[in-house]
Structure formats: C-alpha cells, structure tokens
Amino acid sequence: GESVGLHLPTLSVQEGDNSIINCAYSNSASDYFIWYKQESGKGPQFIIDIRSNMDKRQGQRVTVLLNKTVKHLSLQIAATQPGDSAVYFCAERENNDMRFGAGTRLTVKP
C-alpha cells in the first residue's frame, strides 16, 4: 500500500548547525503535508504545514520544502538548539485520510 516514510531514523547535529530531516511519500493525491515534533512523554505538536500548490514555506527557524516531482518533503531547522531534540514526523493528508511516517529522532549535541 501507499505509505509515508523517512530516509533516516536518527539524526545527530551540533548545536548551532542547521538540520535537515527528510520524508518520502508515495500518495500523489495527497494535497496537504505537516511536520510534527514529539518530545519524550508528550503528544505530537504541530510545527509547520504546506499545501500541494506550494513548494516552500517558512516559519520561525523552520522551512518546509515540497518536491512533488519526486514526492519528497523536507524540514530544515536553522541554528539547531538543544530544545529541538525530539522525534519529528511528517504526515500527508488526502481528504480525511492522514498518514504519518515512522519518525526521525533528532539529537542535538552541545
């Protein structure tokens, strides 16, 4: 079946560096994509979203890039901080069907 997945299960970066978390999706009909952050013991929290009619969206320190040609989604975190350490999930939505990737654990080294 169609699925949402992640290229890397773990990512370790130095504090202050930029982080890039990748996600591949296979449902070409998906029209809405979201990145969530999940800290230990908490529920996922919304970071940023993007609709399929866009290829880039920026927030505070975060940027999401969408490449529909290769069905690829990425989350860029600028100047990564220790508080950014968490598991990051991408999600895709088609109508009422939202599917999540397995997650990437980001660890920020001081």
Partner 1 sequence: EAQVTQNPRYLITVTGKKLTVTCSQNMNHEYMSWYRQDPGLGLRQIYYSMNVEVTDKGDVPEGYKVSRKEKRNFPLILESPSPNQTSLYFCASTRGANTEAFFGQGTRLTVV
User: Residues in the site for partner 1, rule: CB under 8 A?
Assistant: 4, 31-32, 34, 36, 41-46, 49, 51, 89, 91, 93, 95-103
Residue number with CB closer to partner 1 (77 or 87): 87
The closest alpha carbon to 84, from 46, 50, 45, 39, belongs to: 39
Measure the CA–CA gap between 77 and 60, rounded to whole angstroms.
9
CB 33, min distance to partner 1, A? 10
In the bound state with partner 1, the residue whose beta carbon lies nearer, of 19 and 33, is: 33
How many Cα neighbours within 13 Å face the side chain of 64? 24
